[in-house]
Amino acid sequence: MATTLRTPARRWPELDRIPHPRYRVPVLGDVIGASLSTPVQDTMRLARELGPIYRRKIFGAEIVFVSGGELVAELSDESRFLKYVTMAVQSLRLVGGDGLFTAYGNEPNWQRAHDILAPAFTRESMVRYHPTMLAMAHRLMGVWDGHAQRGSAADVPGDMTKLTLETIAHTGFGYDFGSFERSEPHPFVTAMVAGLTSVLQLRVATLPLIGQRLARRKLESFSAHSEFLNATVDRVIRERVDSGDSRTDDLLGLMLNTEQPGTGERLDPVNIRYQVITFLVAGHETTSGALSFALYYLAKHPEIQARAREEVDRVWGPDGDPTYEQVSKLRYVRRVLDEALRLWPTAPAYTRAARADTVLGGRYPMRKGASALVLVPALHRDKEVWGQDVERFDPDRFLPERVRARPAHTFKPFGTGERACIGRQFALHEATLVLGLLLRRYELHDHADYRLKIAERLTLMPEDFTLTLTRRSPRRPAEGPDRDHAPGPGDTGEDTAGEGPAEAAPTGCPVHHG
């Protein structure tokens, strides 16, 4: 992912001011120690060694990485910088076309789709989605009840992927993939992972001599998967159209039956396909990863698990489905989720480009169009911002007084600016709801003494992570004051979208398009 960003040297007039790794090799560049399978973790390692800004050259591509809080704050200034569509994202256009994530900022369909889809992420819409989210969570718990009864291990990333795919499919498109009735992932997920892997590996095209031949093979591998993805989505759209259903209370209905305010323009059929693929892919990948990391940390920290469970028991009671409003009262659970996203933001990078000639940090000249990649996991480990114990899992970092004490633009799991997640509220409501339900129902056991291994695909995800479960008996805790008086979802005080107080901008994200 990171190694496909080209930043011509002429765009950074004084590159010598920016450090780079030792042992640069002629022609090949900074390839010693580079990892094609774990590029994010590789760049994080270099950020620890080289500091808040560094550059790396791979086969002629000069990439500038930024992870320091002060520099990222500058890059978040919409008057000076905007989203840059990297070569990696350009490759993903083979899958997503001019959908929200892969569209160029000046493409008409980006603004058109954003305007048409905005009503799908209002509070009113979130309230309407809540019962469906509950229903999908109950399907998951039906599977986990079986694990608890048999004493078998649950595949956490696999089950979270099934959950979030079904949630976005039902709430957004009224479609059922039948994921929980399958022992293996739905073929859509298999095709998605394989297809995206093939596309992202197109960076081999930059290899001398053999690059173009290898790239052709990757494109051939991608074609069959792409055809399956398109056919699946076309079937979803066709079934809605053939039904004569003209409702506008979900994503597909809005795209099929709504005009852009002010222009009267509609989305064309091909773009609707791209938007559906974008939401199905990104909409479940990011949230499933966030849930999986949160469950990992809860299993590794029994005292945090117990504290979060006590809050759920106290706020929700021993049984019954929580209301939409009750989800926002799980303030400590939300902090658990935020801290998991701090350490492992599932969308780990975004790129910013200069709108005009400027100077970054007072010493790094950038000409118009020069770009820098913000490495979010490294930003979230900036010791100047987060303290010396950045690797320690501590949900209380997100207590409101500590959030207010931190500089703006230092917590960026969902991108920044106008291209930040359109669905930020959706994912964090879903994830907080699911964590609360699982904590109330099960004790989570790290039966295998699991050591975290990160799978890097389109997003980050724990690999081969399983838990065993003990079904809890309903219990009603003693009444008492809410000792965790932190804000709930959408009200941390942290500017997750880079656009002002979180109260004014929804938080959480099924689609990262920043």
What positions carry a catalytic annotation? 286, 414, 421
Token digits for 133?
């989210």
Calculate helix-pair angle for 87-96, 187-200, nearest 10 degrees: 150
Chain center to CA of 354: 24
Ranges of H-type helices in 22-122: 39-50, 69-75, 87-96, 108-117
**HSE of 31 in the Cβ direction (CA atoms, 13 Å)?**
12
3-class SS of residue 371? strand
Q: Residue 474 burial by CB count (10 A; 0-12/13-18/19+): exposed, middle or buried?
A: exposed
Q: What would the two tokens of residue 123 be?
A: 């509070």
Alpha helices (H) in 344-393, listed in sequence order: 376-379, 383-386
Q: Scan for tokens 């649950």, then name that residue.
A: 154
What phi, psi does 505 have (nearest 5°)?
A: -125, 130
Helix, strand or coil for residue 360? strand
CA 17, 342, 68 angle in degrees (round to 5)? 15
Residue 410 CA to residue 408 CA, distance in Å, equals 6
- Rounded to an integer, what distance in angstroms lies between the CA atom of residue 446 and that of residue 469? 9
Q: How far is CA 78 from CA 23, 213, 417, 504, in A?
A: 36, 40, 6, 17
Decide if 43 contacts 37 (C-beta within 8 A).
no
d(CA 112, CA 479): 50
**CA-based nearest residue to 409, from 384, 389, 388, 379:** 379
Closest C-alpha to 240, from 252, 255, 251: 252
Whether 136 contacts 334, CB under 8 Å: no
Among 137, 86, 131, 157, residue whose Cα is nearest residue 349: 86
Tokens in use for 471? 């079904």
Residue 34's SS3 state is coil
Angle at 314 (CA atoms; ends 313, 320), nearest 5 degrees: 55
Residue 53's SS3 state is: strand
CA neighbor of 378 nearest in space, from 119, 16, 39 = 39
Question: Using CB atoms within 10 A of its CB, is residue 70 exposed (0-12), middle (13-18) or buried (19+)?
Answer: middle
Tell me if 23 sits within 8 A of 32, measured CB to CB.
yes
